Amino acid sequence: MALSKVADAREFSDEALAAEILTAKRKLFQLRLEKATGRLETTHNFKHTRRWIAQLLTVERERELAAEEESVSEETSSETSSTVETSTVEEAIAETEPVTEEE
Protein backbone atom coordinates (compact mmCIF):
# COMPACT_ATOMS: atom_id res chain seq x y z
CA MET A 1 0.00 0.00 0.00
CA ALA A 2 1.48 3.34 -1.04
CA LEU A 3 1.48 6.16 1.49
CA SER A 4 -1.14 8.81 0.93
CA LYS A 5 -0.06 12.31 0.03
CA VAL A 6 -1.16 15.42 1.91
CA ALA A 7 -2.19 16.89 -1.46
CA ASP A 8 -4.88 14.19 -1.58
CA ALA A 9 -6.20 15.36 1.78
CA ARG A 10 -6.30 19.00 0.65
CA GLU A 11 -8.68 18.06 -2.17
CA PHE A 12 -11.40 17.00 0.28
CA SER A 13 -14.25 19.32 1.18
CA ASP A 14 -14.68 20.15 4.88
CA GLU A 15 -17.39 17.51 5.31
CA ALA A 16 -15.45 14.86 3.40
CA LEU A 17 -12.34 15.68 5.43
CA ALA A 18 -14.20 15.16 8.71
CA ALA A 19 -15.63 11.88 7.41
CA GLU A 20 -12.18 10.70 6.29
CA ILE A 21 -10.71 11.52 9.70
CA LEU A 22 -13.42 9.45 11.35
CA THR A 23 -12.86 6.58 8.91
CA ALA A 24 -9.10 6.59 9.51
CA LYS A 25 -9.56 6.61 13.28
CA ARG A 26 -11.92 3.64 13.01
CA LYS A 27 -9.36 1.82 10.86
CA LEU A 28 -6.68 2.47 13.48
CA PHE A 29 -9.00 1.11 16.17
CA GLN A 30 -9.64 -1.98 14.04
CA LEU A 31 -5.88 -2.49 13.61
CA ARG A 32 -5.37 -2.28 17.36
CA LEU A 33 -8.15 -4.80 17.90
CA GLU A 34 -6.58 -7.19 15.39
CA LYS A 35 -3.18 -6.81 17.07
CA ALA A 36 -4.68 -7.54 20.49
CA THR A 37 -6.38 -10.70 19.23
CA GLY A 38 -3.30 -11.87 17.33
CA ARG A 39 -4.88 -11.65 13.87
CA LEU A 40 -2.77 -8.73 12.58
CA GLU A 41 -0.39 -9.68 9.78
CA THR A 42 0.54 -6.27 8.34
CA THR A 43 1.96 -4.21 11.17
CA HIS A 44 3.16 -1.44 8.82
CA ASN A 45 -0.47 -0.34 8.43
CA PHE A 46 -0.24 1.22 11.91
CA LYS A 47 2.37 3.66 10.67
CA HIS A 48 0.50 4.39 7.45
CA THR A 49 -2.80 4.98 9.22
CA ARG A 50 -1.30 7.20 11.93
CA ARG A 51 0.50 9.22 9.28
CA TRP A 52 -2.71 9.62 7.26
CA ILE A 53 -4.60 10.77 10.36
CA ALA A 54 -1.86 13.31 11.09
CA GLN A 55 -2.04 14.65 7.54
CA LEU A 56 -5.82 14.95 7.71
CA LEU A 57 -5.72 16.73 11.06
CA THR A 58 -3.02 19.08 9.74
CA VAL A 59 -5.18 20.06 6.78
CA GLU A 60 -8.16 20.56 9.09
CA ARG A 61 -6.11 22.83 11.37
CA GLU A 62 -4.74 24.80 8.40
CA ARG A 63 -8.31 25.51 7.31
CA GLU A 64 -9.28 26.59 10.84
CA LEU A 65 -6.34 28.99 11.01
CA ALA A 66 -7.12 30.39 7.56
CA ALA A 67 -10.73 31.01 8.60
CA GLU A 68 -9.61 32.74 11.82
CA GLU A 69 -7.14 34.90 9.92
CA GLU A 70 -9.81 35.85 7.43
CA SER A 71 -12.26 36.85 10.18
CA VAL A 72 -9.58 38.87 11.97
CA SER A 73 -8.66 40.73 8.79
CA GLU A 74 -12.35 41.52 8.19
CA GLU A 75 -12.70 42.85 11.75
CA THR A 76 -9.57 44.95 11.36
CA SER A 77 -10.77 46.48 8.11
CA SER A 78 -14.19 47.30 9.61
CA GLU A 79 -12.54 48.84 12.71
CA THR A 80 -10.29 50.98 10.50
CA SER A 81 -13.22 52.30 8.51
CA SER A 82 -15.22 53.06 11.67
CA THR A 83 -12.22 54.89 13.16
CA VAL A 84 -11.98 57.04 10.06
CA GLU A 85 -15.70 57.79 10.20
CA THR A 86 -15.50 58.70 13.90
CA SER A 87 -12.58 61.06 13.43
CA THR A 88 -14.35 62.73 10.51
CA VAL A 89 -17.48 63.24 12.62
CA GLU A 90 -15.43 64.60 15.53
CA GLU A 91 -13.68 67.05 13.20
CA ALA A 92 -17.00 68.23 11.82
CA ILE A 93 -18.39 68.78 15.32
CA ALA A 94 -15.26 70.67 16.39
CA GLU A 95 -15.55 72.98 13.38
CA THR A 96 -19.20 73.84 14.08
CA GLU A 97 -19.03 74.36 17.85
CA PRO A 98 -17.61 77.60 19.16
CA VAL A 99 -14.84 77.18 21.70
CA THR A 100 -15.64 78.80 25.03
CA GLU A 101 -13.19 79.10 27.84
CA GLU A 102 -14.38 78.89 31.41
CA GLU A 103 -12.62 81.03 34.00
Report the topology of domain 6-81.
Answer: Helix Hairpins (1.10.287)
- DSSP assignment of 35-88 equals HHHT----THHHHHHHHHHHHHHHHHHHHHHHHHHHHHHHHHHHHHHHHHHHHH
Q: What is the pLDDT of residue 97?
A: 62
Domain spans of the chain, in order of start: 6-81
Per-residue model confidence as pLDDT tens digits over 46-72: 999 999 999 999 999 999 999 999 988
Q: What is the pLDDT of residue 64?
A: 95
pTM for the model: 0.69
Reported as a pLDDT band with limits 50, 70 and 90, residue 89 is low
